[in-house]
Amino acid sequence: MNRRLSLFNVTSLVLGFAFLYLPILLLVIYSFNASRLVTVWGGFSTQWYGALFRNQALMEAAWVTLRIALLSATIATVLGTLAALALTRYGRFPGRTLFTGMVYAPMVMPEVITGLSLLLFFVAIDLDRGFWTITLAHTTLTMCFVTVVVQSRLMTFDRSLEEAAMDLGAPPLRTFFTVTLPLIAPSIVAGFLLAFTLSMDDLVIASFNAGPGATTLPIKIYSQVRLGLSPEVNAASAILIGIVTLGVIAATLISKRSALRSSKEAH
């Protein structure tokens, strides 16, 4: 399979990528614009990055976003891994199909509906909207992604490894921590990174569940843009894009490597 790239292939590739990434590229370029006018190029400058770091409100929002992303991704990873274990390990329990469907539901549910229903729920239980409600909402959203990633690893897991550990004297819990967990760790990390980036850039669900005390970066940027474009926002967005890109690339690499390893071990 060593096909040369034809002119047609190159053109469609360029067009496709341009369609996807040109707007983003433009945004990144304009974040280095010296001019205050967002749409007019006035030379290269990093002044807006400096301004961004001095902007108390934006930095505050960024810090909240980071904390929410870390916390919700951690909770989602634990819950998502447990769900994946239950779905792959406990063969046929009543309601298994229903449970599988329900775990995956947030993936396909329109975000507006997820956000709205969570808002109604938090209002019903009288929970003040703010940091914690966004964290919980993001956990709900991202858990299923962790489950999918971890489950696909567990499907190819050789159960005789666990049997061997037990046979050699390790009780079930120790078997899990010494054999199962280290081997599925890459997929758990990949799931965590996915959950982290999803939480970082979520606007819809966060804006439904945000309160006066806590505003995330996407909400802040969105509200600022409504008041008028500012080059600082471009700079903030460029950084956000950078973090998300790194997260997704890392997640992909890690799960690819672990897939390679599990195919080796299966041999």
Partner 1 sequence: MRRAFAPWSDPAAKPLIRFENVTKRFGDAVAVDHLSLNIFEKEFFCLLGPSGCGKTTLMRMLAGFETPSEGAITLGNQNLAGVPPYRRPVNMMFQSYALFPHMSVEKNIAFGLKQDGLPKDQIADRVGEMLRLVQLEKLARRYPSQLSGGQRQRVALARALAKKPKLLLLDEPLGALDKKLREETQFELMDIQHELGMTFVVVTHDQEEAMTMADRIAVMDHGRIVQVATPGEIYEQPKTRFIAEFVGDVNILEGHVQGLENGLWRVKTPSAAEPLTIDDPDEVLNSGQAVAIAVRPEKMVIQRDPPPPGTRNVLTGEVWDIGYLGDWTVYRVKLATGEILRVTRANASRFVENPIDWDEQVFVTFAPDAAVILAE
How far is residue 187 from each of residues 69, 91, 92, 114, 147, measured CA to CA in Å?
A: 18, 21, 24, 26, 10
Q: How far is the CB of 174 from partner 1 (least distance, A)?
A: 7
How far is residue 223 from each of residues 4, 26, 258, measured CA to CA in Å?
A: 48, 21, 41
Q: Output 171 or 212, the one with its CB closest to partner 1.
A: 171
Q: Output 35 or 178, the one with its CB closest to partner 1.
A: 178
Q: How far is the CB of 249 from partner 1 (least distance, A)?
A: 24
Q: How far is the CB of 45 from partner 1 (least distance, A)?
A: 50
Q: How many residues does the chain have?
A: 267
Q: How far apart are the first and last CA of the chain?
A: 24
Q: Output 36 or 261, the one with its CB closest to partner 1.
A: 261
Query: What type of residue sits at position 153?
Result: R
Q: How far is the CB of 57 from partner 1 (least distance, A)?
A: 47
Q: How far apart are CA 158 and CA 261, in angstroms?
A: 12
Query: Per the structure block, which two tokens stand in for 207?
Result: 């804006």
Q: Output 36 or 159, the one with its CB closest to partner 1.
A: 159
Binding site for partner 1 (CB under 8 A): 158, 160-161, 163-171, 174, 178-179, 182-183, 261, 264-265
- Between vectors from CA 89 to CA 194 and to CA 146, what angle results, nearest 5°? 5
Q: How far apart are CA 61 and CA 42, in angstroms?
A: 29
Max distance between CA atoms of the chain, in angstroms, equals 71
Q: How far is the CB of 188 from partner 1 (least distance, A)?
A: 14
Q: Is 169 helix (H, G, I), strand (E, B) or coil?
A: coil
Q: How far is the CB of 112 from partner 1 (least distance, A)?
A: 43
Residue listed under structure tokens 């956990």: 139
Q: Output 171 or 228, the one with its CB closest to partner 1.
A: 171
Q: Output 120 or 161, the one with its CB closest to partner 1.
A: 161
